[in-house]
Amino acid sequence: MMQSYRTSPPHDKRGGSFAQTGDKAPRRTRHRQVIRAALAPFPLGERPIENMVHLLEAKGVRVYSLAENSIEVDAFALWHSKTPFVFLNTLKSAEHGRFDAAHELGHLVLHRHSGPQIPDAERQANAFASAFLMPRASVLANAPRMATLQNLIQLKKQWIVSVAALAYRLHALGLVTDWHYRTLCIEIGQNGYRRKEPEGAQRERSQILATVFAALREEGVSKAAVADQLQIEGDELDKLVFGLMIVSLAGGATSLRGSKGTGDFLRIVK
């Protein structure tokens, strides 16, 4: 079982990034080779990914939100038997959440059999997420000649990423110099954009859970009944499913065990 916790964003408060400037060429080359191999099973082309959560679910990943209201933990991923799970922190910005989802996908693909504590695991997962969300050819075709903070704020909407993540990607592709990148990082920090994303996007939520809850609602199954079946509190259920609510039909709740065609709709992994 592989588990991954991250306790700081890929572009931290110190003005740095998940790949520090000055890395040696052999390490960069090795990372590129690893990332290219990891991206091979995802022939998504160069178009932006509209919804990371829906994409993960379409590939068989079970996606939930973190039950704990902790600003310190970004995301969490694991393999349970042959099923991959990803848990996302909904206290982060929508753009941050998309990057976290791609980061955890990187761990699931790259480190399933080696665990997250291998050398450069976090760096590799961040590089995977950056390349996954912002394909090289797409960025090269749309990058400005001289990137400013204001045009990055507009440009980031194309890939639905944070302004800090886009600045890093431009630097990683050699489109901005070390000095220019450091200047952008300072501006991003001074404007408070590491905590509050400018012109933020809409948060992504599970498509599968919404469908399941709609079906349960039609059968008259309440949120309380689902929570009882899972042996957890109703508030904890809300926190695990992106705040999606199950509304009881008139006449009271229906037991999951007694509803037509019911099964194990949700299951807590311990």
| Maximum mean pLDDT: which of 8-12, 97-101, 250-254 | 97-101
26-80 pLDDT per residue, tens: 555 555 555 555 555 555 567 788 999 999 999 899 998 886 666 667 788 888 8
Handedness of CA 195, 72, 63, 240 (dihedral sign): negative
- Lowest-pLDDT choice from 14-18, 143-147, 201-205, 208-212: 14-18
pLDDT band for position 155 (cuts 50, 70, 90): very high
Rounded to whole angstroms, the Cα distance separating 256 from 197 reads 41
Q: What is the pTM of this model?
A: 0.74
Rounded to whole angstroms, the Cα distance separating 165 from 17 reads 9
| Maximum mean pLDDT: which of 108-122, 175-189, 230-244 | 175-189
